[in-house]
Structure formats: C-alpha cells, structure tokens
Amino acid sequence: MKLRDMVQGIRADVLYGEELLDSIDIEYAYGADLMSDVLAFARPGSLLLTGLTNIQIIRTAQMLDIPAVVFVRGKKPQEAAVKLASQIKMPVLLCQMSMFETCGILFAKGVLPCHIPDRGV
Amino acid sequence: MFEAPYVEEYSVQAGDFTAIGEASTKFRATLKMLGIPSEIVRRAAVVAYEAEMNALIHAGGGTLSMTVTPDHLEIRAADRGPGIPDIALAMQEGYSTASDEIRELGFGAGMGLPNIERNSDTMVIDTEVGAGTVLMATIRFSAAENQKSGEGRQAAEQ
C-alpha cells in the first residue's frame, strides 16, 4: 500500500516528507513504545508506529531500514528527531488516534504484522 | 571490492544520551558505501547500535570499532566499566540494569545482548568485574553461513 493511502486512512498530518509519500510502498507495520522490541522484531521496510518522541526513534528506524514513522496519540516528535528524519528523508506522520485504533485501521486495510508464526512469515 | 581489512573506530562518550547511535550510523553508512548487501548492513547496524548503547548506558562510554574483510565483518565494543558479574543472567531476555532515563527513551528492556547474539554469527564477551567488558561480534557475508539471524528471530517469537 502506498504510504499516501495509509496517511489518508488514519487521517494523519504530514510533519515532514509530503513529497515522498507516493514513492514508498508498505506491506508490514510494527507498533511499539519499546525500541528494544522494535530492534529485535520489526521487519526491514515496515512502518513504525510509536508514542515516544525522542531522536532515538528515528535512529532506531534508520538502523532497520524503516521508511517512515507514525507518531500516535497526538504526540509530536522532538525537534531533533524531526531534523534527523528530514536529513535522512524519512517521512514523519502525526496521528491523533490511539495506537490501538491506528493499528486497527491499517490492519483492516490489509497491512500485515511483521511476524505471523502460524503462517510461516 | 577490496582486499585489505578496512577498520573504522570511534570513541563514544557518556553524558548526552541523544548522541547514542551516531557511531553506529557512521558504520552503517560505510557498509552501504562499500556495497555490502542490505541484510548484512541491517544486522551490523543493529549489533553496533545495541553495543554502542550498552557501552554508554552501563560503562559511561568506550570504544566502538568495525573491521570489514572480504568475507566477514567484526564489531568490537570495549569499555572500562563495571563489568558483567553474571553473563548468563545478562543474556536473559528481559533482564536489565538500565536507568529510568534510558527506559524513558524506549530502551533498557533487557533485549540488547540477546539481540546482538541473534544478529551475529558469533558473539564473544570478555568481561571482568571492576575492569571492563569487551564484546566482539562477527557477521559473515556468505549466504550459506549467515542464516542464523532469520532462525533466531523465528525462535524468539515462539
């Protein structure tokens, strides 16, 4: 799914990267406030959803080749985080909904979890 | 690609936790520049990032180095911190002695060392209480030999 379609689906505001939305395709997503778990379990190329706002969110995403980050619960990332994201051309999206609702909408639209053990993924 | 080992080293200093990951980011950029496959780059970046974080969180800093040869790369993190009294305990997922400040950043969940091991082909920890810790992780480039990451990730989910 194009990132632009996801943005519309969750009614997100684009804090950075409007011009990149059509060039990014996303198949999987990982939602967590624990970057330790993101590093351990998120799939490269997946979308990251989180309620944390510090610069390490962007660094963690960068290490895993995560193409974009959604900040949920109306959280706004810190200035240093947005600055780094713009340097590495990583779209920053803001969503007012809860993590649960945001993930639910994306799941209903066909975005997959990073790991589905019983399907061998 | 290249013949002689390529070595890159950084000193990581405590104090500013927002700087965590700067050295690992440079390693990642170097590996991409060298044309290393993206899956290897991702694994190396995760190993370096976790090791860099450990050195800063637990030892107040240290030295992070990366050696790239034609068939493998090594990431070495050395510090003069308190050492690890019980490595088996430190390797347990969920065990952590990280501060609240680190936990507020989203880390310190006790996943660091297991995650380094999961993303490496070999991991060796040499530690002495009161003297410091040296962690050495190796990632091989051969497709036949670097299956460990995928298997480890699946095992961790089950």
B49 contacts A39? CB cut-off 8 A: yes
Say how far apart CA A66 and CA A111 lie, in whole Å.
15
> What SS3 state is found at B104?
helix
CB atoms within 10 A of CB B90: 20
Encode burial over B73-85: b for 16+ CB neighbours within 10 A, e otherwise.
bbbbbbbebbbbe
Q: Is residue B114 part of a domain?
A: yes
Say how far apart CA A32 and CA A12 lie, in whole Å.
18
pLDDT band at A119 (very low <50, low <70, confident <90, very high): low
Among A37, A56, A117, select the one facing B20 at the smallest CB separation: A56
Q: Which of A24, A95, A23, A91 is nearest to A62 (CA)?
A: A91
pLDDT in the model for residue B111: 85
Q: Is residue B1 part of a domain?
A: no
Q: Is residue B53 part of a domain?
A: yes
pTM exceeds cut of 0.80: yes
Among B38, B106, B114, select the one facing A65 at the smallest CB separation: B38
Residue B35 corresponds to which tokens in the numbers above? 């044309």
Nearest-by-CA chain B residue for A119: B154
Please check the confidence at residue B50 and state whether its pLDDT lies above 80. yes
Residue A4 corresponds to which tokens in the numbers above? 């632009």
> What SS3 state is found at A120?
coil
Number of domains forming the structure of chain B: 1
C-alpha radius of gyration, chain B, whole number: 15
Residue B86: give its domain's CATH number.
Answer: 3.30.565.10
pLDDT band at B106 (very low <50, low <70, confident <90, very high): confident
Say how far apart CA B100 and CA B105 lie, in whole Å.
9
Report chain A residues touching chain B, CB-CB < 8 A.
Answer: 33-41, 44, 50, 52, 54-57, 59-60, 62-65, 80, 115, 117
Domain ranges of chain A: 3-111
pLDDT in the model for residue A32: 96
Chain B positions in Cβ-Cβ contact with residue A55 (cut-off 8 Å): 18
pLDDT in the model for residue B101: 82
Which CATH superfamily includes the segment(s) A3-111? HprK N-terminal domain-like (3.40.1390.20)
Q: What mean pLDDT is predicted for residues B132-154?
A: 70
Q: How many CA atoms lie within 13 A of A20 on its CB side?
A: 17
pLDDT band at A120 (very low <50, low <70, confident <90, very high): low
Condensed to tens digits (0 to 9), the pLDDT of residues A65-100 reads 999 999 999 999 999 999 999 999 999 999 999 999
Residue-range definition of the domain harbouring residue B117: 6-157
Identify the residue among A39, A64, A87 best suited for mutation to test binding to B, counting B beta carbons within 10 A and taking the highest: A39
Least confident of A36-45, A66-75, B62-71, B143-152: B143-152
Give the ipTM.
Answer: 0.86
Say how far apart CA B4 and CA B150 lie, in whole Å.
30
By the CB < 8 Å criterion, does B45 face chain A? yes
Condensed to tens digits (0 to 9), the pLDDT of residues A80-89 reads 999 999 999 9
